[in-house]
Amino acid sequence: MFDGLKDKLSGFTKDVEDDVDEDAVEEASETPAEDEEPTDSEGVAEDAETTAPGTAADDAPVAETTADTDAASDADEAADTDESGGRSLTQKAKIMATGKTVIEEEDLQKHLDDLELALLSSDVEMGVAQEILEGVKENLTGQTRRRLSSTGNLVRDALREALYDVISVGQFDFDERVAEADKPVVIVFTGVNGVGKTTTIAKLAQYFEDRGLSTVLANGDTFRAGANEQLQKHADNLEKKLISHEQGSDPTAVIYDAVEYAKANDVDVVLGDTAGRLHTNDGLMDQLEKIDRNIDPDMTLFVDEAVAGQDAVNRAREFNDAAAIDGAVLTKADADPQGGAAISVAHVTGKPILFLGTGQDYDDLAAFDPEAIVDSLFD
């Protein structure tokens, strides 16, 4: 995952480092040393000049007034600031004398344009790409970094921080929320057809089993022929109870029965499937609203494929607008070379990605760790 994007991000950091170092060498060669003494005879004469006793100068005050001091300070500050309000050559020379390099906005702009193209070509949503660019600019402009040692640390760190801010939006501890909720915890799954909702439910049943929590499955997908059989096969493999009604039944009634079963049998978690739907399907969206009103699930999770890229990002936004979700699960993450959906979904919905599907087996489900994801981009 992210192989294509990793190469593009690596190119961005290297290009910025190279350009900034080249500018630093040029500035160092063009800037006169600040401590250079004047060599002309007039300067020497002025330095040697003294005031004879008994002249008018004897009557001048020995100490400068506060106003004089402030004026001198303002003059020094102005001398160290260029017309645009940035660092002057004198300031830059001082910084370079310590082995550091100044990074200015003009050093970044071309590379930020290239980074924007790289992000968009990796299926990162446009608004999210802009957020990343602004974060990088804010983190880098006017900063300094050591030259000739650990090159690129500041650039990489600035980009890492900008990416982390985007993908960690709304993040919460899933296990902690489940542990603190009243039992049974009810989790409902939604999304379009064919993205792996049913398989994800089975994987989460295994996930909870591994953590000592019992589950019951509920097939609220009463719209699709064969849905009962598909989820029943997973239930049999996992030795779980499945609550289902005949095709065409009310999905809310199915999930309600599963909740009642869980209460009667001390089951910890109810995992409820729903029919795949588009956000524009008013009838099926009404079903979700009815489930929300009557069941009041603890969480509603949106499921889509990471490989769907920009389509997954758009659908996540639309589903959240139509019927608020609490988080997302992205399937087929192991087959996604770009990673744009993983970077974008949380930001466009304000709700976190909680899990990534990474294979076909029941234990191929990875908790989404924003820091680990960002680190993997810079391996």
Average pLDDT in the 128-152 region?
66
Long-range contact set of residues 62-68: C-beta below 8 Å, sequence gap at least 24: none
Residue with the larger pLDDT of the pair 301 and 323: 301
Let me know: does 348 contact 316? Beta carbons within 8 Å. Answer: yes
Residue with the larger pLDDT of the pair 323 and 45: 323
pLDDT for res 64: 45
Q: How far apart are CA 310 and CA 125, in angstroms?
A: 7
Question: How many residues can be counted in the chain?
Answer: 379
pLDDT for res 336: 78
**Residue 78: pLDDT over 80:** no
125 confidence band (pLDDT: 50, 70, 90): confident
275-305 per-position pLDDT tens digit:
877 766 777 778 888 888 899 999 999 999 9
Q: In the beta sheet, which residues pair with residue 189?
A: 301
Cis peptide before 53 (omega within 30 of 0): no
10 confidence band (pLDDT: 50, 70, 90): confident
Residue 150's φ and ψ, nearest 5 degrees, are 50, 50
Q: In the chain, pLDDT over 70 holds for what percent of residues?
A: 70
Q: What is the mean pLDDT of the chain?
A: 77
Q: How far apart are CA 66 and CA 98, in angstroms?
A: 33
pLDDT for res 6: 73
Q: First vs last Cα of the chain: how many Å apart?
A: 12
**Residue 338: pLDDT over 50:** yes
Let me know: does 27 contact 91? Beta carbons within 8 Å. Answer: no
22-48 per-position pLDDT tens digit:
554 454 445 444 444 444 444 444 444
Closest among 205, 197, 210, 128 to 168, alpha carbons compared:
128
Let me know: does 301 contact 329? Beta carbons within 8 Å. Answer: yes
Query: Could you tell me the two tokens for 225?
Result: 């022929």
pLDDT for res 343: 86
Q: How far apart are CA 261 and CA 270, in angstroms?
A: 9
**Interstrand relation of 269-274 and 215-220 (parallel, antiparallel or unpaired):** parallel
Domains and CATH numbers, the chain: 3-31+75-167 (1.20.120.140), 174-369 (3.40.50.300)
CA distances from 54 to 51, 57, 67, 307 (A): 9, 8, 27, 90
pLDDT for res 115: 85
CA distances from 13 to 87, 133, 283 (A): 23, 13, 49
Q: How far apart are CA 81 and CA 274, in angstroms?
A: 63
Reduced DSSP (H G I as helix, E B as strand, rest coil) percent helix, strand, coil of the chain, to 5: 55, 15, 30
Q: In the beta sheet, which residues pair with residue 100?
A: 146
Give whichever of 40-54, 155-169, 247-261 has the largest mean pLDDT: 247-261
Residue with the larger pLDDT of the pair 291 and 213: 213
Let me know: does 143 contact 154? Beta carbons within 8 Å. Answer: yes
163-180 per-position pLDDT tens digit:
888 889 899 999 999 999
String of DSSP letters for 296-364: --SEEEEEEEGGGTHHHHHHHHHHHHHS--SEEEEE-GGG-SS-HHHHHHHHHHSS-EEEEE-SSSTT-
Q: How far apart are CA 234 and CA 200, in angstroms?
A: 10
Let me know: does 343 contact 128? Beta carbons within 8 Å. Answer: yes
